[in-house]
A and B are shown apart, each in its own frame.
Chain A
Amino acid sequence: MTPYYQIAPLADQGVLIDCGEMIDIEVNRWIEAAAQAVRAAQIAGVIGIVPTYRSLSVEYDSVAITQRELIARLERLLSMLSVSSKPSRRWRIPVVYGGEFGIDFDDVCGHLGLDRDEFIMRHTAPDYRVFMIGFMPGFVYLGGLDARLHAPRRLSPRTRTPAGSISIGGQQTAISSVEAPSGWHLLGCTPVHNFTAERTPPILIEAGDSVRFEAINTEQFKALQQKPDWRPEWEWIDNAGPSR
Chain B
Amino acid sequence: MSTSRDNLDVAFVVASPGMMTTLQDSGRIGQGHLGLPPSGALDSMSLGLANALVGNAQTNESQTGHLQECGVLEVTLMGPRLRLVGGDCVVAITGDAEVLVNGRRAEAFRALALRDGDELHIRRVLSGARAYLAVGGGFAATPFLGSVSTLVRAGIGGFSGRALAVGDRLALSDPTIGASHAGQVGEQHLPQREKRPIRVVLGPQSFFFTRAKIARFLSAEWEILTLADRMGYRLAGPELTSTVGHNIVSDALMTGSVQIPGDGRPIIAMNDRGTTGGYPKIATVIRADLARLGQMKPGDRLCFEVIDPAHAETLWRERQRAFRAYLARLAM
Residues A197 and B261 in contact, CB atoms below 8 Å apart: no
Q: Which residues of A contact B31 (CB under 8 A)?
A: 48
Q: Which residues of A contact B284 (CB under 8 A)?
A: 9-11, 13
B64, CB-defined interface residue at 8 Å? yes
The one of B30, B204, B276 in contact with A132, judged by C-beta atoms closer than 8 angstroms, is B276
Docked complex: B121-151 residues within 8 A CB-CB of A: 144, 151
Known pairs A136-B153, A183-B278; A55 contacts B34 (CB<8 A): no
Residues B251 and A156 in contact, CB atoms below 8 Å apart: no
Residues A14 and B254 in contact, CB atoms below 8 Å apart: yes
Most chain A CB within a 10 A radius of its CB, from B33, B65, B275, B317: B33
What is the 8 Å Cβ interface bit string for chain A, positions 187-203, against chain B (1 contact, 0 not)? 00000000101000011
Known pairs A49-B33, A183-B261; A134 contacts B201 (CB<8 A): no
- Chain B interface residue count: which class? 35 or more
Residues A197 and B156 in contact, CB atoms below 8 Å apart: yes
Known pairs A11-B201, A180-B153; A197 contacts B161 (CB<8 A): yes
A207, CB-defined interface residue at 8 Å? yes
Q: Which residue of B lies closest to A139 (CB)?
A: B35
For the complex, give the distance between the alpha carbons of A35 and B30 in Å: 13
A103 to chain B, nearest CB (A): 19
Residues A35 and B313 in contact, CB atoms below 8 Å apart: no
For the complex, give the distance between the alpha carbons of A10 and B35 in Å: 18
Docked complex: B171-187 residues within 8 A CB-CB of A: none
B106 to chain A, nearest CB (A): 35
Q: Which residues of A contact B252 (CB under 8 A)?
A: 10, 14, 16, 50, 52, 55-57, 134
A60 to chain B, nearest CB (A): 10
Q: Which of A62-70, A90-98, A112-120, A232-240 contacts B (4 or more CB under 8 A)?
A: A62-70
B312, CB-defined interface residue at 8 Å? yes
Known pairs A54-B251, A153-B247; A12 contacts B64 (CB<8 A): no
For the complex, give the distance between the alpha carbons of A207 and B275 in Å: 14
Residues B34 and A137 in contact, CB atoms below 8 Å apart: yes
A21, CB-defined interface residue at 8 Å? yes
Docked complex: B265-282 residues within 8 A CB-CB of A: 274-278
Residues A9 and B250 in contact, CB atoms below 8 Å apart: no
Residues B33 and A63 in contact, CB atoms below 8 Å apart: no
Tally of chain A residues near chain B (CB < 8 A): 65
Residues A197 and B155 in contact, CB atoms below 8 Å apart: yes
B86, CB-defined interface residue at 8 Å? no
B219 to chain A, nearest CB (A): 20
Residues A12 and B203 in contact, CB atoms below 8 Å apart: no
Q: Which residues of B contact A213 (CB under 8 A)?
A: none
What is the 8 Å Cβ interface bit string for chain A, positions 116-156, against chain B (1 contact, 0 not)? 00000000000000001111111101000000000011111
The one of B36, B144, B200, B247 in contact with A170, judged by C-beta atoms closer than 8 angstroms, is B247
Most chain B CB within a 10 A radius of its CB, from A61, A157, A179: A61
For the complex, give the distance between the alpha carbons of A171 and B263 in Å: 20
B262, CB-defined interface residue at 8 Å? yes
For the complex, give the distance between the alpha carbons of A8 and B250 in Å: 16
| Additional A-B contacts beyond A49-B30, A207-B33 (20; CB < 8 A) | A11-B254, A13-B286, A14-B252, A16-B251, A21-B249, A35-B33, A55-B251, A62-B287, A66-B313, A132-B250, A134-B250, A134-B275, A135-B275, A152-B247, A153-B246, A153-B262, A156-B262, A170-B247, A171-B249, A197-B154
